């Protein structure tokens, strides 16, 4: 079944846990402060545009509306508190400053206080002066193209990159000279000097050329590192923590980074009160290599010893204390605390969670936890559309903190163009206070596939255990009653139409992606094997296995903090599945149609509509016992969060599994393909996708291609 484009609206504010009165200082959140500032600015803008306390004369380059907007704070102050010479002078000063930043270096603004508390600003704009050539003298190690970006950076950030001629703003150019100097220092040129820019005005004063005199001096690198104090782990081990740092040019900021790294190294190993100081001595350097002395006072080795909890209302304090109980007596590690903090925040139970280590004597640390609970109940509305399912609407209700134990219960109902689904899900992330997770699901659904309609009711129990952060194994038990309520497929291809199936299976997942929702790099591999038998109450017998591997490879330079990621992405995927009846004959009808595999659609071979690749009866797909899918997709940015994609898919679907090795060989000789284009729009919950796949080896009765509209990654 294709994944559809979904919009989920959460209404958690409608419900809350038990309310208790308390006294606290309300600290505005950053978004609240921003909202308040925007509201004030909006009111000031309205006042500035509507008042008559100010008049502009002589302006030509800018209209009055823009000038009023630039002086909105000053105009609002005059309107509220009256006009004085000081306030008139402020208005003239800030207007001159605005003009100069637009390249009017010779502008003058004079103010006059007229009768009736009215301010007149007389403007002499002067000529617009642009920045001409930017020259650098003395640069040997840095190319002029790089220095240019720093020199004009303060002006460029106010204008479009398409604007070739920038206005001349002396203060911006002087700031650019400082940025050039900082660049040199960051590259180890500690003695570099960038003198004030020299300006050369054109005869008609229309533009100014700027020359930056540069004295680079020697470039410095890190030299010998010496350690004083009790370094415990040895000099070589400590140097190994700084190899990447030491390969870079010497700067004071990198020296300042050494204590942070050393403190992190020692604290991870239980030395909570470690003190580290690093001092470089450029004067003692030889051949530009600066010796650095690192002083270390490790302090005592600390161990975990209990926790305290405050701030909880509905959630029981034992929920938090049990999360840390297994660390009692073990060596303190901030990484362990941070990992547990992230795990607790992902639960959605808290809006604020602070964990403070407190020494309590005897080299022991107590964790003092202060928490603020999130709304425990949430009502959600789901709206969406899928190229196969049609329109989708759903509603869900979730209680994250059932009875105060932190175990969530979710109920949901979903209607689509092909059927309905109802589900109740209970989760226990810490079964019997262990590291095992448990899920119990009860569901009922009806769905109208091409060729048959089914009704299903059943349960599923998942027991999972994370072996590492990235690797998880699981045990799955399912019990379902399935009934084919109507069909246009011949009975010989349907198989059993009413049956009870009970199965037990194993799963494993290795997830090395950087994000589960919008991955930009990494690998995921998962596999399943499940077994249905009369020995565990099933009316049909089979063994089934699937496997998937997907690799995401970013192409291009990684963006710096604050920059938009403009890299492209190559994604490669492979999947396979096999199911074999244990009931006797090796025929497609031996297995019920709803237990078979299908291929084609938005997540498999995209030149076919959903489930349409493979054997048919009267135009309706009947599925098969063995499938493969191979995908390659290249995505690239277009504008903002909109991306383009080109892709290639290959896959097959065979009616009978037969001998696995023989069927794999035969299947690879009978592959079907898709070549296509697509659009992606990235949302916080995953991308919305529209794809068109062309069928290059179309056979009789097949379409030339297919459109697929869906949500999430294709593979």
What secondary structure does DSSP assign to 366-378, as a single string?
A: EEEEEEEEPPSEE
What would the two tokens of residue 14 be?
């409608």
Residue 29 vs residue 576, higher pLDDT: 576
Cα distances (Å, whole numbers) of residue 711 to 454, 610, 630, 685: 24, 14, 19, 9
Interval 6-31 mean pLDDT: 41
How many angstroms separate the CA atoms of 52 and 57, rounded?
14
Architecture label for domain 51-124: Roll (3.10)
Report the candidate in 2, 1, 9 with the shortest Cα–Cα distance to residue 383.
9
pLDDT of residue 658 exceeding 70, the answer is no
Collapsing DSSP to helix, strand or coil, 308 comes out as strand
Phi and psi of 430, rounded to 5°?
-135, 75
pLDDT at 87: 93
pLDDT of residue 66 exceeding 60, the answer is yes
Q: What is the pLDDT of residues 599-635, one digit of tens each?
A: 999 999 999 999 999 999 999 999 999 999 999 999 9
User: Cβ of 516: how many Cβ atoms within 10 Å?
Assistant: 11
Interval 500-518 mean pLDDT: 96
pLDDT at 470: 95
Q: Which residues have CB under 8 Å from 595's CB, separation 6+?
A: 495, 501, 540, 542, 544, 579
Interval 35-53 mean pLDDT: 85
| Mean per-residue pLDDT of the chain | 90
Assigned CATH class of 377-711: mainly beta
Least confident residue range of 69-73, 425-429, 648-652, 663-667: 663-667
Label residue 31 by pLDDT band (50, 70, 90). low
CATH number of this structure's domain 221-297, picked from the four choices 3.90.199.10, 3.90.1580.10, 3.30.70.560, 3.10.20.310: 3.10.20.310
CATH number of 303-373: 3.10.20.310
pLDDT of residue 449 exceeding 60, the answer is yes
Report the candidate in 588, 672, 589, 591 with the shortest Cα–Cα distance to residue 630.
672
Q: Which residues have CB under 8 Å from 388's CB, separation 6+?
A: 1, 2, 4, 418, 601, 602, 609, 610, 611
What would the two tokens of residue 374 be?
């999130």
Q: What is the pLDDT of residues 525-573, one digit of tens each?
A: 999 999 999 999 999 999 999 999 999 999 988 876 666 778 999 999 9
pLDDT at 640: 86
Interval 457-485 mean pLDDT: 97
pLDDT at 557: 82
Interval 298-315 mean pLDDT: 95
Residue 560 vs residue 78, higher pLDDT: 78
pLDDT at 560: 65
CATH superfamily of 130-215: membrane protein fhac (3.10.20.310)
pLDDT of residue 585 exceeding 60, the answer is no
Q: Is there a common fold for 51-124 and 303-373?
A: yes
pLDDT of residue 12 exceeding 70, the answer is no
Label residue 15 by pLDDT band (50, 70, 90). very low
Contact of 523 with 554, CB cutoff 8 Å: no
Interval 399-404 mean pLDDT: 94
Of the chain, the percentage scoring pLDDT greater than 70 comes to 92
Pairing state of beta strands 626-639 and 642-654? antiparallel
DSSP 168: P
Least confident residue range of 15-29, 105-119, 476-490, 530-544: 15-29
pLDDT at 43: 87
Q: What is the pLDDT of residues 279-303, one digit of tens each?
A: 999 999 889 999 999 999 999 999 9
For the chain, domain boundaries: 51-124, 130-215, 221-297, 303-373, 377-711
């Amino acid at each position: 079944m294709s994944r559809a484009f979904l919009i989920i609206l959460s209404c958690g504010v409608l419900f809350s846990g038990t309310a208790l009165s308390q006294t606290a200082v309300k600290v505005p959140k950053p978004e609240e402060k921003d909202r308040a500032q925007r509201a004030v600015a909006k009111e000031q803008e309205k006042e500035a545009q509507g008042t008559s306390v100010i008049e502009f004369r002589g302006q030509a380059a800018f209209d009055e509306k823009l000038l009023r907007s630039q002086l909105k704070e000053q105009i609002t102050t005059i309107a509220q508190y009256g006009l004085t010479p000081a306030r008139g002078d402020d208005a003239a000063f800030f207007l001159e400053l605005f003009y100069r930043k637009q390249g009017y270096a010779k502008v003058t603004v004079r103010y006059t206080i007229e009768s009736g508390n009215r301010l007149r600003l007389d403007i002499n704009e002067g000529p617009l002066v642009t920045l001409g050539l930017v020259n650098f003298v003395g640069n040997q190690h840095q190319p002029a193209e790089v220095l240019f970006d720093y020199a004009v950076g303060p002006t460029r950030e106010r204008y479009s990159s398409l604007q070739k001629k920038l206005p001349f703003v002396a203060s911006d150019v002087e700031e650019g000279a400082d940025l050039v100097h900082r660049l040199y220092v960051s590259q180890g040129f500690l003695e570099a000097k960038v003198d004030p820019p020299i300006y050369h005005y054109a005869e008609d004063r229309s533009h100014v050329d700027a020359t930056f005199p540069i004295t680079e001096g020697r470039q410095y690198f890190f030299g010998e590192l010496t350690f004083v104090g009790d370094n415990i782990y040895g000099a070589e081990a400590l140097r190994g923590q700084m190899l990447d740092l030491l390969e870079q040019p010497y700067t004071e900021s990198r020296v300042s980074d050494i204590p942070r790294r050393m403190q992190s190294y020692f604290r991870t190993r239980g030395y909570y009160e470690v003190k580290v100081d690093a001092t470089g001595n450029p004067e003692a350097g030889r051949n530009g290599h600066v010796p650095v002395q690192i002083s270390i006072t490790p302090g005592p080795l600390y161990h975990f010893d209990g926790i305290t909890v405050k701030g909880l209302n509905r959630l029981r304090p034992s929920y938090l204390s049990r999360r840390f109980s297994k660390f009692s007596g073990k060596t303190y590690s901030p990484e362990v605390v941070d990992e547990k903090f992230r795990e607790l925040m992902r639960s959605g139970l808290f809006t604020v969670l602070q964990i403070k280590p407190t020494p309590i004597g005897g080299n022991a640390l107590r964790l003092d936890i202060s928490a603020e609970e999130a709304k425990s109940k949430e009502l959600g509305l789901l709206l969406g559309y899928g190229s196969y399912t049609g329109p989708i609407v759903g509603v869900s209700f979730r209680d994250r903190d059932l009875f105060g134990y932190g175990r969530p219960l979710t109920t949901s109902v979903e209607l689509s163009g092909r059927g309905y689904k109802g589900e109740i899900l209970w989760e226990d992330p810490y079964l019997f206070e262990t590291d095992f997770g448990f899920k119990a699901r009860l569901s009922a659904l009806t769905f109208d596939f091409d060729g048959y309609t089914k009704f299903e009711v059943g349960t599923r129990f998942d027991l999972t255990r994370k072996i590492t952060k990235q690797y998880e194994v699981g045990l799955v038990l399912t019990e379902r009653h399935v009934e084919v309520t109507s069909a246009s497929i011949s009975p010989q291809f349907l198989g059993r139409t009413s049956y009870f199936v009970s199965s037990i299976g194993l799963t494993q997942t290795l997830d090395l992606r950087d994000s589960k929702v919008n991955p930009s790099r990494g690998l995921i591999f998962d596999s399943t094997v499940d077994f249905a038998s009369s020995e565990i109450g099933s009316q049909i017998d089979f063994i089934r296995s699937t496997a998937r591997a997907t690799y995401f490879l970013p192409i291009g330079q990684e963006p710096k903090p604050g920059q938009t990621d403009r890299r492209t992405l190559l994604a490669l995927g492979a999947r396979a599945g096999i199911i074999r009846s244990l009931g006797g004959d090796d025929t497609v009808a031996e297995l019920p149609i709803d237990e078979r595999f299908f291929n084609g659609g938005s997540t498999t071979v995209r030149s076919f509509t959903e489930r349409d690749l493979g054997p048919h009866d009267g135009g309706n797909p009947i599925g098969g016992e063995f499938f493969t899918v191979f995908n390659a997709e290249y995505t690239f940015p277009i504008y903002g969060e909109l991306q383009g994609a080109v892709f290639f898919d290959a896959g097959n679907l065979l009616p009978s599994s037969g001998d696995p090795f023989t069927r794999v060989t035969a299947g690879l000789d009978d592959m079907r393909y898709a070549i296509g284009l697509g659009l992606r729009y990235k949302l916080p919950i995953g991308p919305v996708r529209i794809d068109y796949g062309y069928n290059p080896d179309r056979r009789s009765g097949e379409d030339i291609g297919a459109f697929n509209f869906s949500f999430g990654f294709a593979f």
